[in-house]
Amino acid sequence: MDEQVIAAMARWPDVPAVYGWLSLSEAGLWRLHPKGDALQHPEAPGEEITSPQILAFMNRNYASDALGQWYFQNGPQRVYVRLDAAPFVVHTTTDTRSGRLKLRTHTGLDIGEVRALHLDENGRLFADTDRGAALIKGRDLPALLDALQPAASATASLPADTDIHDALARCLETGEPLLLQSHSVQGFPAQAIPLLSGAQSSLEDALHFRRHPQPPPGSAGPVQGPDTPVSG
């Protein structure tokens, strides 16, 4: 978090947080909701924020609270974010030193550890990482899948030569946990990690995040936008 932001938080510690003005799309795009209605209308896409300076500022000052609700620290004020998928959206890139595939968040952070994978009913792949819950970006999914190999089922043996796509289909169909491994993606441990399937609604508890942040009980919620509105 920027030093000037930390200083502003210390100087003005009681600035009320606001909700409904920002969202993070499934594609990893920051979006502004000028009417503050992102939570009342979760289907509303909002307006894409395109300014490189603002995006860089937001990416550096993005964090979560104890409830798993994510926010952009806009100076002394928290601007809570509606998540259309997960706190992070990750894409694949190649490490220039090792030549290995690695995952990088929409905020520009490299993933250092992948602990588990989760498959929802729509076939979207989520990862439990050291950065937080992350959705694998759709266009990058084939490259990652090509680097994964099925190991064994948690409850029954699985042939080592099983195709990764067949393994995912089996996981979706039966709900049976599987074990996957990768020797070519940074952040994957030497041992196999679980692939779990479940409804999108269950991911928030499994990965400890909240897609739709809410004001504390008894709070009337915000009646105005961020003190310094973000814009594209």
The domain spans of the chain are 3-83, 88-205
User: Residue 38 class from Cβ within 10 Å (0-12 exposed, 13-18 middle, 19+ buried)?
Assistant: buried
Q: What is the pLDDT of residue 220?
A: 47
Q: Give Cα 11 distance to the centre of its chain.
A: 30
CA 92 to mean position of chain CA atoms: 14
- Whole-prediction pTM: 0.89
The Cβ of residue 66 has, within 10 Å, a number of other Cβ atoms equal to 5
**The predicted structure's pLDDT at residue 226:** 58
Distance CA 80, CA 123 (A): 27
Residues paired with 94 in a beta bridge: 101
Distance CA 9, CA 12 (A): 5
Tokens 């499994």 locate to: 206
Walk along the chain (232 residues) and give the pLDDT tens digit of each residue: 999 999 999 999 889 999 999 999 999 999 999 999 999 999 999 999 999 999 999 999 999 999 999 999 999 999 999 999 999 999 999 988 888 999 999 999 999 999 999 999 888 999 999 999 999 999 999 999 999 988 865 445 566 567 788 888 888 888 888 888 898 999 999 889 999 998 888 999 999 999 999 988 766 444 445 555 454 4
Q: How many residues does the chain have?
A: 232
pLDDT attached to residue 205: 93
Whole-number pLDDT of residue 24? 98
Residue 98 has a pLDDT of 86
Distance CA 78, CA 9 (A): 10
Instruction: Give the rounded distance of the alpha carbon of 162 from its chain centre.
Output: 29
What is the reported pLDDT for 153? 52
The per-residue pLDDT for 193 is 93
Q: How far is CA 155 from CA 100, 114, 148, 191, 193, in A?
A: 31, 22, 20, 17, 14
Three-state DSSP at 96 gives coil
Confidence (pLDDT) at 177: 85
